[in-house]
Amino acid sequence: MLDIRNNVNLKTYNTFGIEAFCTYFTEINSIEDFLALLKTDIYKNNLKLILGGGSNVLFTQNFNGIVIKNNLKGIEVVTQDNEAVIVRAAAGENWHGFVLWCIEKGFCGLENLSLIPGCIGASPMQNIGAYGVEIKDVFNDLEAINTATGQKKVFSAAECEFGYRESVFKTKYKNQFFIISVSFKLYRQPKLNTTYGAINSELEAMKISNATIKDVSNAVIAIRQSKLPNPAETGNAGSFFKNPEVAKEKYDELKRSFEGLVAYPLPNGNFKLAAGWLIEQCGLKGFEKEGAAVHSKQALVLINKNNCSGKAVFELSGYVLQKVFDKFGVTLEREVNII
């Protein structure tokens, strides 16, 4: 049954642990709840913000509107054969929990995406990715409700228009659809991707030669835990900045000027630079300002080190952007949704 509350503190609903209040707050536990919400004057007459795990949002102020927490739950196998399986998960399911569920069933394809915070519904919105795998590589379709009409629509991969940490749900369809479930095409035979990052090195350290998807998942978890702070202990939203893309001419210029430049060639001839490396070269690892800080082990991550405000984190991010631009002439882009 739909329950709308007033003046709710969002501190426990965002992984930065930032205190901010919203005028109205409700949790959606069924599709019927959401359809009922669409008919209310509170929904019709206020700004809206849909939250999943709150792992990709920074509150810099109170939210003068209604926050809608997506709590839809459920996982099911839709179709399967000897080679592949389609698995559908409700948008409110925990992402990492779902990955582990698939690994336990022997469904291959998500192991490189282990330990990413957040919920299922945010995964296609952000086209989350890690260690050489993105959601678009395993995506089948998603179901969403049009917030204007209340009608359900199924989106194919092409209709989602996936890009680097992008989809239509962050651009032309922003706030126009409420994602209710996502389905993934996974495989019964492993197609391991261990060449990206330090996965092979971690597997060697674990003394594993014939890796399984569980081994790869464990390696990814170990790597992430070694350099990324646990949001339950230190407020953060994971990677705060996108890795910037530059033309070959700019890459060549930087490579001549900066020894050890970390970059990856792209199919379009451009290069993707490692934002964390750029930030680190500016001497910002561990830099702290007004309780917000650049993480000492991974410069791509900004943290709530000392019960800071969202405004302090935002201002720190601006300082980082300026320092990187001044040194490299490269403009970083924030990956986190700023409220």
Q: Reply yes or no on whether 335 is catalytic.
A: yes
Q: Reply yes or no on whether 5 is catalytic.
A: no
Q: Reply yes or no on whether 165 is catalytic.
A: yes
SS3 track for 162-201: CECCECCCCCCCCCCEEEEEEEEEEECCCCCCCCCCCHHH
Per annotation, catalytic residue among 93, 111, 143, 165: 165
Extract the tokens encoding 269: 């001839």
Per annotation, catalytic residue among 114, 239, 309, 317: 239
Phi, psi of 92 (to 5 degrees): -90, 0
Per annotation, catalytic residue among 93, 143, 245, 335: 335
| 38 contacts 150 by C-beta, under 8 angstroms | yes
> Which residues, at least 6 apart from 108, have a Cβ–Cβ distance to it below 8 Å?
186, 187, 188, 189, 190, 191, 213
Tokens 């952007």 -> residue = 321
For the chain, the straight-line distance linking the first and the last C-alpha, in angstroms and rounded, comes to 28
Runs of H (alpha helix) within the chain: 31-38, 41-44, 95-105, 122-126, 157-160, 199-205, 213-227, 248-257, 275-281, 310-328
Q: How far apart are CA 51 and CA 197, in angstroms?
A: 30
Taking each helix axis from N to C end, the angle separating 95-105 and 213-227, rounded to the nearest 10 degrees, works out to: 150
Which of the residues are catalytic? 165, 239, 335
